[in-house]
Amino acid sequence: MFEIKRIYEEPAEADGERVLIDRLWPRGISKEKARLSKWMKEIAPSPELRKEFNHKPEKFEQFREEYFKELKNDEKKKNIDWLQDKAADGKVTLLYGAKDEKHNHAIVLKEYLEKEKS
């Protein structure tokens, strides 16, 4: 099972595996406070796609389509497989730093992982 959560929220035992999926380390968060199982910067959107999207809600659907294409790349496959394996054993919480909780790459990644699983 996959959940998403802002990294700025308090860690909880119920989070299971805590995986940061941002390419850049979030400001103001220490590694101790983050309590990560893993940092998967490689699974984040490419810098080009991230800059093009620029957290603009009107660009979210296009961003979603392009990020889905990126997630199918071989270089991201090992990370997808690792996440799927961990989710088969329990809960995986995908952590992100974006302020917008409705238009971010964590939502797209979770959707992709759940589609691929079925």
Inform me whether the pLDDT recorded for 116 exceeds 90: no
One DSSP character per residue, 34-102 reads HT-SEE-GGGSPPHHHHHHHTT-GGGHHHHHHHHHHHHTSHHHHHHHHHHHHHHHHS-EEEEE--S-SS
pLDDT in tens, 5-45: 999 999 999 999 999 999 999 999 999 999 999 999 999 99
pLDDT-derived band at 118 (thresholds 50, 70, 90) equals: low
What DSSP character marks residue 4? E
- Read off the pLDDT of residues 51-108 as tens digits, 9 standing for 90 and up: 999 889 999 999 999 999 999 988 888 899 999 999 998 999 999 999 999 999 999 9
Q: Please state the domain extents for the chain.
A: 2-117
